[in-house]
Amino acid sequence: MARSILVAGATGNTGQSAVETLSHLLGSKPSFSDYKIIALTRSKDGATAKRLAKLPFVQLEEKSWVEITPEWLQEHNVERAFIASHLQTNQFAEESTFHLALLHANVKYVVRISTAHLAVRPDSKSYYQRAHWAIEALLSSPEYEKLQFTSLQPNAFGPTYLYSAAQFVKDFRSTGKQGNLSLMAPKDFPVAIIHPPEIGVVAAHLLAEEDTTKHNKAKYILNGPEGVTGQQIVQMVEKAIGTNVENVIYKDMSSVDSLLEGLQNESPNVISSLRYALEASWEGKSSGSTSPEILDMGVIKHTPGEMFNSLID
């Protein structure tokens, strides 16, 4: 039976590029000629799922990763895995169950997406940052010694960070009117936001390493190639609309309030802690250098300007 590399969330913003890059890499490495990529999706009918299914080595499976069991992993001969978890308050429970299944199925290596490195702390105010710390602590424990892992700690995702600015441009182009330009960004401190698909590319390169031992227990920092301040985002908006922005609100996390309105059966006290998620960036603490092992791959290239232009075109 062919050995497998499992990609959970294959149609997501990092999973797609992980599958695409793995498909290319496996074809260029003779030692991986007997591997296949199991791409998990909730629906095979979507356009992205259908496109991925046509790639070499890819086998599409309609299954939620939270329902993965050791028996399923053994049945599909999974040796390596990739996971980009969600931001719901049960993240730790579901992701730790996934890793426990990997351990008991004798999966050899997993690459996971964490969050900005200085936020991965047991005393972080935002719940999901503490959850990432707890997952990394779990995987680093002696009980998990047989499951090698690498945790990718990326800076803020560019499309999320720039979303309100791009929407401001689209609204102005549609109506000719300005509202408030509300930005998550601080006014003066640069944040090296990252293009999500490039994180998937990094994960694919790690999963296609013949010897993963050198990456075991690694927690790699991933930053974009350059930082951007809130003021610079305003300048990008002004260039796009051809006039000055009248009102700007920096460090705005009011989007959390709208998120609360759409969630049920979640603790408001827990979910509302998302509004603290960018405090490290606001205080100038998220500027650590990208890990050399990641820089050597040469795959992190998208600048804030390029990400912004792709959002407004």
Instruction: Give the amino acid at 146.
Output: K
pLDDT at 269: 86
Q: Residue 146: its pLDDT value, please? A: 98
Looking at residue 254, what is its pLDDT?
85
Give the largest Cα separation in the chain, rounded. 63
pLDDT of residue 263: 61
Nearest Cα neighbor of 99 from 60, 121, 131 is: 131
Note whether 312 and 170 are within 8 A (CB). Answer: yes
Q: 158-192+225-282+302-312, what's its fold?
A: UDP-galactose 4-epimerase; domain 1 (3.90.25)
Q: What is the pLDDT of residue 164?
A: 95
pTM value? 0.94
Pick left, alpha or beta for residue 284 (phi over 0 → left; psi -120 to 50 → alpha; otherwise beta): left
pLDDT digits (tens, 9 = 90+) for 54-102: 999 999 999 999 999 999 999 999 999 999 999 889 999 999 999 999 9
| pLDDT value, residue 282 | 81
Residue ranges of alpha helices (H) inside 106-221 are 127-139, 158-175, 196-207
Over the range 184-211, which residues count as b (16 or more CB within 10 Å of their CB) and which as e? bbbeebbbbbbbbbbbbbbbbbbbbbee
Average pLDDT by consecutive 10-residue portion of the chain (313 residues)? 92 96 93 93 92 96 96 98 93 97 98 94 94 98 98 95 96 96 94 96 97 97 94 98 97 78 74 87 73 95 97 95
pLDDT of residue 266: 77
What per-residue confidence (pLDDT) applies to 288? 66
Distances (CA, A) of 129 to 111, 196, 249, 270, 272: 17, 18, 25, 12, 13
Task: State the Cα–Cα distance between residues 227 and 284, nearest whole angstrom.
Answer: 11
Which residue in 247, 234, 237 sits closest to 187, CA to CA? 234
- Alpha-carbon distances, residue 146 vs 103, 109, 136, 175, 191 (angstroms): 7, 9, 15, 58, 36
Cβ contact 304:226 at 8 Å:
yes
Class of domain 3-156+196-222: alpha beta
So what's the pLDDT on residue 262? 62
Paired with 110 in beta bridges are 81, 149
Task: Give the number of other Cβ atoms within 10 Å of residue 273's Cβ.
Answer: 19
Q: Where are the domains of the chain?
A: 3-156+196-222, 158-192+225-282+302-312
- 192-211 pLDDT, tens digit per residue, is 999 999 999 999 999 999 99
pLDDT of residue 287: 59
